[in-house]
Amino acid sequence: MRKIGGGISGAGLGLRYSFVGDAVSDPDKPLWFEIAPENWMGRGGFFRRSLERIRSEREIVCHGLSLSIGSPDPLNMEFLKDLKEFLDYFEISLYSEHISLCSLNGSYIYDLLPLPMTEGMVKHISTRVHRVQEILERPLILENISYYGVPFSTMKEPEFINSILSESGAYLLLDVNNVYVNSLNHNYDPYSFIDELDLSKVAYIHIAGHERFERFIIDTHGAPVKKEVLRLLDYTIAKVGDVPVLLERDNNIPPYRELKEELRIIEGMIHGTRV
């Protein structure tokens, strides 16, 4: 892991309920897994035992869905307390979230909404990041999201992301598929976007599939990773160096063996196989 510990390397897989049993029984399971803590914190029985078994053999990273780091609402302290207990119990040192908001006026939206890219928002997020890191006693890693409109912005996205990382001390979860999807929807060069980011702050990378719906490309996480995205990943790895890469699949989830085949391609890229 770059700079912040955690023990992960190579290619990891997002752990989903549909194949957790296969993962438990697989002697050649992926090097590490990522979970959404909100989906596992209240689980008992088979799923709790399965997660304990996997954690005894592999590293696990948590990738949250409801921190809402850009919301004007106060931080959800009850959630952060429960999250801290969960992270401590499973000895999970790496926790990532999104540069977005998903709650407003005390209600959760259950979607990741884009934020105004402004200096004021940089300061707002940075203050909240410091508080979250104090409570969790862990560094916070923030992901660039896909979006279909950007409200009231005065900064370009790379500048906005870099400013948040610089002022808050957070690290970057670089979602390469999101960069590619946004580049098509908003007409910019994804390679130049990667060049403009502070890549020294990249903790790990996300890769996923997308699909076209009429005039938009949608980040569905419901298809194999496209060749164009793999080429952008290849370019990014060449610039960042030895950085862990996580394969996400949330919809139309294929058999576990198919995900492992896709993961082998990514593992090869990390070790220098060109696409």
Residue 273: predicted pLDDT: 72
Residue 124's domain comprises: 11-270
Any domain includes 58: yes
Q: Which amino acid is at 158?
A: P
Any domain includes 19: yes
Helix or strand holding residue 33 (H, E) = strand 32-35
- Give the chain's domain count: 1
Any domain includes 116: yes
Confidence category of residue 126, pLDDT binned at 50, 70, 90: very high
CA distance 197 to 144: 11
- Residues 129-149: tens digit of each pLDDT: 999 999 999 999 999 999 998
Any domain includes 60: yes
- Residues 203-244: tens digit of each pLDDT: 999 999 999 887 889 899 999 999 999 999 999 999 999 899
Any domain includes 2: no
Task: Indicate whether this model's pTM tops 0.85.
Answer: yes
Any domain includes 234: yes
Any domain includes 132: yes
Any domain includes 5: no
Question: Looking at residue 230, which CATH number applies to its domain?
Answer: 3.20.20.150
